[in-house]
């Protein structure tokens, strides 16, 4: 392994703020205009995170470490879904319809479709890590940019949670795949994600 070009675990964690393209500053202002829409989209994102985690556990049930690490994350994501629902109710707002997630669907096009089972597992874990990293960055923006002080604190808690989930997926990748390979593929994912985000319309009614 070429340790000179491979980061330590701490470097992986710091890289969450090293996404290649930061969120457009206009996004927070647009999100603040229609809280019902952004809270609705956030709720569905949490629901999809929980069900996607369950699917990953089902697919890789033969990997005990993965199952053990993801089981509490699934519970936490579902708890987040309920928290956002409660916030909608507190504001006398309703949960709107689930939308097509152009960001996640775009990421999935970059997943390894062939190759070894290891390659496919690596990409699954890195997709999850990247979604959590971008979500963490978006929650940070909301916690700092919204005028609503209550929602600032609300999203600060979500930001801290997503950072922990990101680390879990990166650590699982490093557990099952050589670290230099994880790092090299992660750099490819970061570059791809930046191009994807750059091509998406800046809209305040969606989390990604």
Query: Residue 195 domain-assigned?
Result: yes
Structure confidence at residue 78 (pLDDT): 97
Cα 2 from chain centroid (whole Å): 29
Q: Is the pLDDT reported for residue 35 higher than 60?
A: yes
Whole-prediction pTM: 0.90
Contact status, residue 169 vs residue 132, Cβ threshold 8 Å: yes
Cα–Cα distance, 13 to 172 (Å, whole number):
13
Asked if residue 131 lies in contact with residue 101, where contact means CB atoms within 8 angstroms, the answer is: no
Mean per-residue pLDDT for 169-181? 96
* pLDDT of residue 14 exceeding 60: no
pLDDT of residue 2: 36
Domain CATH for 183: 1.20.1260.10
DSSP 138: H
2 within some domain: no
Answer with the residue of higher pLDDT: 88 or 14: 88
Q: What is the mean pLDDT of residues 129-146?
A: 93
pLDDT tens per residue, range 71-86:
999 999 999 999 999 9
Condensed to tens digits (0 to 9), the pLDDT of residues 182-199 reads 999 999 999 999 999 999
Give the H or E element holding residue 36.
helix 35-59
The answer to whether residue 5 is domain-embedded is no
| Terminal Cα distance for the chain, rounded | 35
114 inside domain: yes
In a domain, 70, yes or no: yes
Report how many domains make up the chain. 1
pLDDT at 137 over 70: yes
15 within domain boundaries? no
Is 74 in contact with 54 (CB distance < 8 Å)?
A: yes
Q: Which long-range contacts (CB under 8 A, 24 or more apart) does 148-152 make?
A: 148/32, 148/35, 151/35
- As a whole number of angstroms, the longest Cα–Cα distance in the chain is 56
Q: Tell me what pLDDT residue 18 has.
A: 63
Which pLDDT band, with edges at 50, 70 and 90, does 96 fall under?
very high
Nearest to residue 81, comparing CAs of 31, 41, 133? Answer: 41
Q: Which structural domain range is residue 107 located in?
A: 34-199
Q: pLDDT band for 115, please (50, 70, 90 cuts).
A: confident
Does residue 11 lie within any of the structural domains? no
27 is a domain residue: no
What is the spatial distance between Cα 180 and Cα 3, in angstroms, rounded to a whole number?
8
């Amino acid at each position: 392994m070429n340790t000179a070009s491979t980061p330590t675990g701490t470097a992986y964690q710091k890289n969450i703020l090293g996404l290649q393209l930061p969120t457009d500053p206009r996004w927070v202002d647009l999100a603040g205009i229609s809280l019902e829409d952004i809270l609705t989209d956030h709720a569905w994102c949490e629901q999809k995170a929980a069900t996607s985690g369950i699917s990953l556990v089902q697919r890789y049930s033969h990997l005990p470490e993965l199952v053990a690490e993801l089981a509490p994350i699934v519970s936490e994501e579902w708890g987040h879904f309920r928290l956002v629902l409660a916030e909608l109710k507190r504001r006398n707002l309703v949960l709107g319809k689930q939308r097509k997630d152009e960001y996640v669907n775009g990421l999935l096009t970059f997943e390894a479709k062939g190759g070894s089972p290891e390659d496919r597992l690596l990409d699954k874990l890195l997709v999850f890590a990247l979604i959590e990293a971008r979500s963490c960055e978006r929650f940070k923006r909301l916690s700092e940019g919204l005028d609503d002080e209550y929602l600032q604190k609300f999203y600060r808690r979500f930001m801290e949670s997503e950072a922990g989930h990101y680390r879990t997926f990166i650590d699982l990748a490093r557990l099952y795949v050589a670290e230099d390979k994880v790092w090299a593929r992660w750099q490819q994912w970061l570059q791809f994600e930046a191009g994807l985000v750059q091509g998406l319309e800046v809209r305040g009614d969606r989390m990604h």
